[in-house]
Amino acid sequence: MAPATNATLLIIDDSAENLYVLSELLRPQYRVLAATSGVAGLNIASSQPRPDLILLDVMMPGMDGYEVLAQLRANPTTFDTPVVFLTAMTQAGDEERGLLLGAADYIAKPINPTVVLARVRTQLEAKQARDWMKDRNASLEAEVARRMAENDLTQRVGIRALAHLAETRDPETGNHILRTQAYVQRLAIGLRRHPRFASTMTERYVDLLTRSAPLHDIGKVGIPDHILLKPGKLTADEMAIMQTHAKLGSDAIEQAECDIEIPLAFLSTAKEIAHWHHEKWDGSGYPEGLAGDAIPLSARLMAVADVFDALISVRVYKPAMPHAEAGDIILAGRGKHFDPDVTDAFMAGFGDFVGIAERLLDDVASPRARYLAQAQT
């Protein structure tokens, strides 16, 4: 890899004679800048055009070469510019000191033109190689980031598509999946500083909860139409069948997990939510009657989100409940239906949950809304 002939070199030396000799030697192949002091050299080094290599005299009045090099390395603009010391000093300790500070090489005075040209060429070739690798790595990182973003979007679209599949079977859903997703995210964020949940509620876990929440009712695709679409109260037998949607959903997600070679954390979280979001804190829920902390945290958050949204939404058997009244019911379920601390977090951010509900209202012109209106007349 031959160094470009338009490479820029900066020579910093207090001796006008040395500057002249080096400039005459190097100018036929390179663009040469010169400075007679450390201060002037630092100013040139951080200006355009940036030097590709600096030849730096060690023994200079005021600011010596060691201090100049230290400041070059401390400046983000010049920290990686290669520096070759020019020195008449021959002690091994002097060379070691410069190398420890970050010098790339030493050229002894009086200079040997052949040695200078060879070492300059070597350093420029090394810099070109580093720059090429840096550009290559940046390109690879950008491509990896692009593919990760594409995969992330594909995953989110796939989740939303599955959730909408359940939605098409259930005329009561509307924007339910969007609202409950937003409620769960807000609840999780509200619990991040709670001592009981702080270690769990990492940014990663909040993202998993938010990503997985839309799949909580995916199991409804397996419920017969005459039960799922019934405009009146379900019988005990019908309710038992309706309750199977929790396990149907988790079973479907578990099957998806079996079909892939690498476990996906969001699927595990989605399976928890789908399977246990109808459990109750006091153990009276379904499908397994879990109680307290035995219920996965993800499902405890969804339990609050799901019930609140059901209360404030139109159903074929009831009108929408006012937000304040729904909040009172959630509060009344504290320690019975809902985790007490999750309930407290919900009530503390109640205004935000109302805001989410109002922002994601169902479209009154949608077929689903017309269906519900007809069912209530």
Report if pTM > 0.75: no
Pair (88, 176) in one structural domain: no
Pair (247, 358) in one structural domain: yes
Pair (214, 329) in one structural domain: yes
Which of 245, 255, 227 lies closest to 306 in space, CA to CA?
A: 245
Q: In this structure, is residue 23 part of a structural domain?
A: yes
Pair (123, 211) in one structural domain: no
Task: Please check whether residue 179 is in contact with residue 309, taking contact to mean a CB–CB distance below 8 angstroms.
Answer: yes
Q: Which residues pair with 86 in a beta bridge?
A: 57, 107
Total count of domains within the chain: 2
Pair (116, 48) in one structural domain: yes
Local confidence pLDDT in tens for the 377 residues of the chain: 444 558 999 999 999 999 999 999 999 999 999 999 999 999 999 999 999 999 999 989 989 999 999 999 999 999 999 999 988 766 556 677 777 888 888 888 888 999 999 999 999 999 888 888 888 887 888 777 777 766 666 666 666 666 666 666 565 556 888 899 999 999 999 999 999 999 999 999 999 999 899 889 889 888 998 888 888 889 999 999 999 999 999 998 888 888 777 778 888 999 999 999 999 999 999 999 999 999 999 999 999 999 999 999 987 667 899 999 999 999 999 999 999 999 999 999 999 999 999 999 876 544 444 444 444 44
Q: In this structure, is residue 145 part of a structural domain?
A: no
Task: Please check whether residue 17 is in contact with residue 39, taking contact to mean a CB–CB distance below 8 angstroms.
Answer: no
Residues 6+ apart with CB under 8 A from 293: none
Residues 6+ apart with CB under 8 A from 20: none
CATH number, position 217:
1.10.3210.10
Q: What angle do CA 14, 82, 4 make, to 5 degrees?
A: 100
Concatenated DSSP letters for 192-224? TT-TTTTTT--HHHHHHHHHHGGGTTGGGGGS-
Amino acid at 51: P
Q: Of 121, 140, 159, which residue sits at a domain end?
A: 140
Task: Please check whether residue 301 is in contact with residue 277, taking contact to mean a CB–CB distance below 8 angstroms.
Answer: no
The domain of 362 spans: 170-376
Pair (271, 338) in one structural domain: yes
Pair (247, 370) in one structural domain: yes
Residues 6+ apart with CB under 8 A from 106: 84, 85, 87, 95, 98
